[in-house]
Amino acid sequence: MHYPLSAEPKPAERRHSLCLPARITVLLLAGLMTLAVLFGCGNGDKYAVVLWAPDDQTVEDGSLLPVIEESRIDKTVTLELPSGEPQTTPNWRVKTFGSRRNAQEFKQSYAEYAGTYAAAKRDGLPVRKEADRLSKRTYKLRLREEIKILERTEEVSNEGGMEDYWYRVLTREGVSGWCFGQYLDIYQSGEQVVDADTGKGTENTDLQRFLENKWRPSYYRNMARNNTVVTDLFRPEYGLFPEPEENWLVLNLQSRNITFDYTRIAPSRRNQYVFEGTSLILTIVSEKEISIQYQWQGSEVSGNFILFEEDIEEILEQEIERREEVLQTLYDRGPKLKSSTYGTIEVNENGTFRWEGYDRLVPEILPRDITNTGRLDFGFFPGEDLRAEYDGAIVFRFYTGSGDRPAAFLYRYEEKGLLLEFVPQNLIEDHIIKRRDLSSTKLFFSLRN
């Protein structure tokens, strides 16, 4: 029904028109509340007890602090320090409570173990879900890996003729579980640990080992082990390089080059050292692994490094040869790939391509602002679960006026041609295609010489 512009709505109609803004307001509030839950929100009366203090030593183990904010997505907690300053830390480092009273009670019970740590006496020592040697294993410790003691069982257990307590522990990966005490060297924060097997302290040995070696980003190990070498990231010049005679360390990565010129190395906690005169803090994780924290461009940055004993140059050469072989195979089977639906791709021996007739892929798969030429990139890899089903991955990098635009595909050779399956960018992580998009477009091309 239509009313003149000057007409007054009836009472029932007036109520309806007034309710609409109210409904919109309720919906907006509900949406804001949902976002607050997802991205973090204020925690007025929440408190936290620090289980394992951050490496920068702004607070101590066992400290009770107000919670300013929690983020479920980032898995972090922002605490109010005694100075009034906020500090954000991974949520595994703390235990949160809904009231100060509950937090205070836990703090008192935790005080006995607040400064207690342990190091694994054997490689592969299991962390178990329950205090039972038949319980499910949740984590495997490396030799001399440092862990935090949270509590212990009230009574000694007999496990295979050995008697000791079970200890609930926390790892630097945030995993909590139980370890049998027979295989742990237990110590207090700041103490030098004596290896029960050798009778020698480990502090000076660990530091000396660090200073005498070159350390590579920890991802080198997985790249080499899984044959997923990214040549731009896997370089002989990348790593952390101590120069003890010069009193400096050089950190060289793809995105930064920093020289830490220190005055002295001061021991901090167990297995931790401060390089005075710089922002660098070193933590010895194990004989072959370290972690560092430092300030860069106004932010705190951390990184893990390993002793990598394989020949980096040789591994790089093998990866380059692999890519050349993949290109040569594609060229030999083609070099023209023809589809009645998706056009024709011509592959050149130098790794460039020309793709004509791809209009049906625009804009869902290919963007509008590309040319029909580009280069092939074989530096992406199917994830472990996809390797049996696909021969590899190809990224078509289309030239534009300001660079290139990538389009990634899994590929598989079939009896009569080549199957390409499009992969959205959100399914690619660190150059690894984690999974398929089950609704993704599949393109079949016949191969023609």
Q: Say yes or no: do domains 42-111 and 116-199 share a fold.
A: yes
Residue 209 is encoded by which pair of tokens?
A: 């080992």
Mean pLDDT by 10 residues, the chain (449 residues): 38 43 52 47 76 83 94 90 91 94 95 92 90 92 91 89 90 94 86 48 73 96 96 97 92 96 84 92 93 92 96 97 97 94 97 97 94 97 95 97 94 95 95 93 89
* DSSP count for the chain of H helices, then E strands: 5, 35
d(CA 379, CA 210): 32
**Domain 116-199 CATH superfamily:** SH3 Domains (2.30.30.40)
Distance of CA 9 to the CA centre of its chain: 60
Q: How many angstroms separate the CA atoms of 349 and 30, rounded?
A: 58
What is the CATH T-level fold of the domain 42-111, as seen in this structure?
SH3 type barrels. (2.30.30)
The C-alpha atoms of residue 300 and residue 316 are separated, in whole angstroms, by 31
pLDDT at 449: 62
Q: Which two tokens stand for residue 104?
A: 């205070």
**E strand or H helix that includes residue 186:** strand 184-188
Tokens encoding 369: 């602002």
Whether residue 377 contacts residue 327, with contact meaning beta carbons closer than 8 Å, is answered with no
One DSSP character per residue, 57-104 reads -SS-TT-EEEEEEEETTTTEEEEE-TTS-EEEEEGGGEEEESSHHHHH
Instruction: Give Cβ neighbours of residue 289 (< 8 Å, ≥ 6 apart).
Output: 142, 218, 304, 305, 306, 307
pLDDT of 5: 34
Q: Is residue 77 packed enough to be buried (19+ CB in 10 Å), middle (13-18) or exposed (0-12)? A: buried
Listed by start position, the domains of the chain span 42-111, 116-199, 205-306, 316-448
Within 8 A by CB and 6+ apart from 433, the residues are: 380, 381, 382, 383, 386, 393, 408, 410, 423, 427
Tally of CA atoms within 13 A in the half-sphere of 196 that contains its CB: 14
The gap from C-alpha 116 to its chain's centroid, in whole angstroms, comes to 27
The alpha-carbon radius of gyration of the chain (Å, integer) is 29
* pTM reported for the whole predicted model: 0.59
**Distance between CA 353 and CA 226 in Å, rounded?**
29
pLDDT at 199: 41
Residue 24 pLDDT = 52
